[in-house]
């Protein structure tokens, strides 16, 4: 399902905001109000694969985050985050599994798509998202089962 359609189906409002860099996106929810994903206007000119990863991760917060999240005053850009907290990990994991489903990833491998840049093109995601996806436990289990 396309990300904007998924957000609409779940009642998530998506709005474009003027964030100060390096902030690019935020998920916000308060009981009694619809969840909101705020996206920086700068993402409109970002590569499509990058935008898809950012939006999927924010939608991932809808599915994986319960309660309030503490947002630090300074946030690194999406591609600069290496040490992430549990909320970010869960949201990114949801995004990786949504954008690169395991059956499709296995099919790509069988078709000979194995380099990270090829996988990124194949799934229209960033190479960083491919790297993250390849480290998830479900794929590790498949590797050892073969």
Domain count, the chain: 1
Top pLDDT among 88 and 66 is at 88
User: What is the per-residue pLDDT across 84-110, written as a single tens digit (0 to 9) for each?
Assistant: 588 889 999 999 999 999 999 999 999
pLDDT-derived band of residue 5, with 50, 70 and 90 as boundaries? very high
Supply the range of the domain harboring residue 72: 3-145
- Tell me the pTM: 0.84
Q: What is the rounded CA–CA span in Å between residue 90 and residue 96?
A: 10
């Amino acid at each position: 399902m396309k990300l904007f359609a998924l957000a609409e189906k779940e009642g998530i409002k998506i709005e474009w905001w003027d964030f100060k860099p390096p902030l690019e996106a935020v998920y916000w929810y308060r009981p009694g109000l619809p969840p909101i994903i705020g996206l920086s206007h700068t993402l409109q000119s970002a590569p499509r694969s990058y935008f898809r990863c950012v939006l999927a991760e924010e939608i991932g917060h809808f599915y994986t985050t319960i309660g309030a999240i503490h947002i630090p005053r300074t946030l690194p850009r999406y591609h600069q985050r290496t040490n992430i907290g549990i909320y970010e990990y869960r949201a990114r994991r949801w995004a990786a599994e949504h954008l690169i489903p395991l059956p499709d990833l296995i099919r790509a491998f069988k078709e000979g798509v194995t380099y990270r840049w090829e996988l990124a093109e194949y799934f229209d995601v960033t190479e960083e998202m491919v790297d993250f996806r390849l480290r998830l436990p479900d794929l590790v289990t498949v590797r050892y089962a073969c």
